[in-house]
Structure 1
């Protein structure tokens, strides 16, 4: 990491989805966490006396736009890159960052294959998809669901999720059935005849997720079907705003401990002052990203991820090599399966921990 000694600010390039079709609310939570940590670092003296500065670029969930932003930020002299929420976008950014030798700490994207080949330039705060989604599959089995239907959009991320679920469930007597995604009604018709007891929404928000949830809730044939959203669509307030009580009791993955420690409690309170709703795990991932980068920058080294050990909001962060994953990985952040309480959709219930 280039930490010039001319007294200027140390600049971190930030990638986040801040306009549609990106998930804007996730991007705002990520940015809130990054900015809060930046403030804390600068209040504590910055990077060896120099202020830390964020240079933010909107990816709008566009992989090509993200790759171009990496080049732009490199030309501006940033010391490192941070952020991004969407996996396919983060993969594009990671590939470009690795190619030009610019360190990148990915905050929230979980796709296992964040890079095609192993690289020392890229590290990740969020857990790999295979880790979290296996925990989710264990939750399904423990809840009595072995025949699972999936409504999946066409993308490498959703295809990866479907494969992880199938590979984990099949040896344990489970099965995964892929449904026709031509329309919400088609999903309901196939689901009714599938023999599945659970439907997983491997789709974007708000659409088609909102339309599918409404269609299933209103179909009397599907009254006993549990819906789930392992990718975490119900985490953010926009889900409750769009669906109300229809959006409750849909379990999803969340990367928070059951109880936050003192740092997490303090950061959570500060984030609530910056956000119009309760902070999501994405905001905590943003905070932890800057905490890690600040420590790495103070040491003055390159992308020396295995040398960094930081007390984050959700536990001690250290990086290692995980088989099958080409980037340095925090193994692992805490993982929960939670849902919105039907009695109080604004509140979350912890159903399973991994």
Structure 2
């Protein structure tokens, strides 16, 4: 029998703070229009890491406490949350899944001098200017999406269509794909998912002769309707549907699409094999989530683990934390986390976490198979 997932505490309704506790804020989307399943995975990982840190003695004998704030995929809400957390005296902030929201949180953290370790957002321009206050675990979009573009080329795709909605994140992804494919003989055709319904999108794919359609749209809709339409159109039997942003990773994708959701390649930030710590964390997360954890759950765990390591080693002063990013060497669930400043990066970056292109196996949609790994 599956265990019932542990629900996060209601934001703003914290338990009484333990005497002398070190508080850390966590930003996660826990209500629509945010991707709630992703938020719960990030939070489950963060909460488990806090338990493990405290069982190992906490921060110099002081317990670590999480203060959770629901961003609901709203940049303004994230900005307000960072300001509130700063006022509550947190030593740092971790989390956030949505890139545009994380960018707003990073800007406020930089302005207020609060260390922010972004767990899961990938937008390259996480900050408008270089900052010492922000670090990131997830790979930059330009790194991961180029790997994805190479997987498309390896599979013989030279004419790629993207179903796209307005978003800084989707626009950035489209540009990255076009810039990487064009010198290699590939083209990218943009299809406006707001103006074209699923049937019209199918007609456009036939008209343009695209061999792959990438979903740069919201989930569950219109992504689910588009997948169903393409899968059921006999003219498009040979067209590959892809989702570089990772939607097929989550259980909700499989529940809504079943076999039609298999064979959709996506970016997954996991190694071929988890570290021994990662294997233990995986087992614990399965209990908390009543199912297989997504890669963002490991990102949530590692974010808290890294910040706790810094707090133990360098103290809880915020400036001391920010000054310590360059000296991080924390064994995590997917490898040892170290930060650097890659060319063009305005933040401290783990360069690079493991990246693989995977898809759900058509023979076993509950399992994943690797398309390309780095």
Q: TM-score, normalised by structure 1?
A: 0.97
Q: Aligned pair 1:134/2:146, yes or no?
A: yes
List runs of 5+ in structure 2 lacking aligned partners.
Answer: 1-17
Shift of 1:302: 2.7
Q: Aligned pair 1:44/2:49, yes or no?
A: no
Give the alignment partner of residue 321 of structure 1, picking from 331, 337, 341.
341
Shift of 1:307: 1.1
Alignment correspondent of 2:5: none
Alignment correspondent of 1:171: 183
The runs of at least 4 consecutive aligned structure 1 residues that moved more than 4 Å come to none
What do residues 256-301 of structure 1 show as CA deviations (whole Å, max 9, x unaligned)? 0011121111111111111122001000001100110011111212
Shift of 1:218: 1.2
What do residues 89-138 of structure 1 show as CA deviations (whole Å, max 9, x unaligned)? 00000001101111100000000000010000000000000000000000
Q: Aligned pair 1:93/2:105, yes or no?
A: yes
Alignment correspondent of 2:239: 225
1:121–1:81 Cα change, 3 Å? same
Q: Aligned pair 1:254/2:252, yes or no?
A: no
What do residues 163-216 of structure 1 show as CA deviations (whole Å, max 9, x unaligned)? 010111101111111013221122111111111110000111101100100111
Give the alignment partner of residue 252 of structure 2, picking from 216, 226, 238.
238
Q: Aligned pair 1:312/2:324, yes or no?
A: no
What secondary structure does 1:98 align onto?
helix
What secondary structure does 1:49 align onto?
coil
Give the alignment partner of residue 68 of structure 1, picking from 65, 80, 89.
80
Alignment correspondent of 1:116: 128
Give the alignment partner of residue 295 of structure 1, picking from 304, 309, 315.
309
Q: Aligned pair 1:265/2:284, yes or no?
A: no
Give the alignment partner of residue 351 of structure 2, picking from 323, 331, 337.
331
Q: How many residues align?
A: 349
Question: Equivalents in 2 of 1:261, 1:74: separation in Å?
Answer: 34
Question: Equivalents in 2 of 1:225, 1:90: separation in Å?
Answer: 34
Q: Is the 8 A contact 1:180 1:190 kept in 2?
A: no
Alignment correspondent of 2:11: none
Q: TM-score, normalised by structure 2?
A: 0.92
What secondary structure does 1:35 align onto?
helix
Q: Aligned pair 1:211/2:230, yes or no?
A: no
Question: Equivalents in 1 of 2:274, 2:90: separation in Å?
Answer: 32
Q: Is the 8 A contact 2:275 2:332 kept in 1?
A: no
Question: Equivalents in 2 of 1:147, 1:285: separation in Å?
Answer: 34
Q: CA RMSD of the aligned region, Å?
A: 1.0
List runs of 5+ in structure 1 lacking aligned partners.
Answer: 1-5
Shift of 1:243: 0.5
What secondary structure does 1:166 align onto?
helix
Q: Is the 8 A contact 2:302 2:333 kept in 1?
A: yes
Question: Equivalents in 2 of 1:266, 1:352: separation in Å?
Answer: 26
Q: Which has the higher mean CA deviation after the structures are superposed, 133-142 or 178-187?
A: 178-187
Question: Equivalents in 1 of 2:63, 2:237: separation in Å?
Answer: 56
Q: Is the 8 A contact 1:38 1:52 kept in 2?
A: yes
Alignment correspondent of 1:14: 26
Shift of 1:219: 1.2
Q: Aligned pair 1:28/2:40, yes or no?
A: yes
Alignment correspondent of 1:3: none
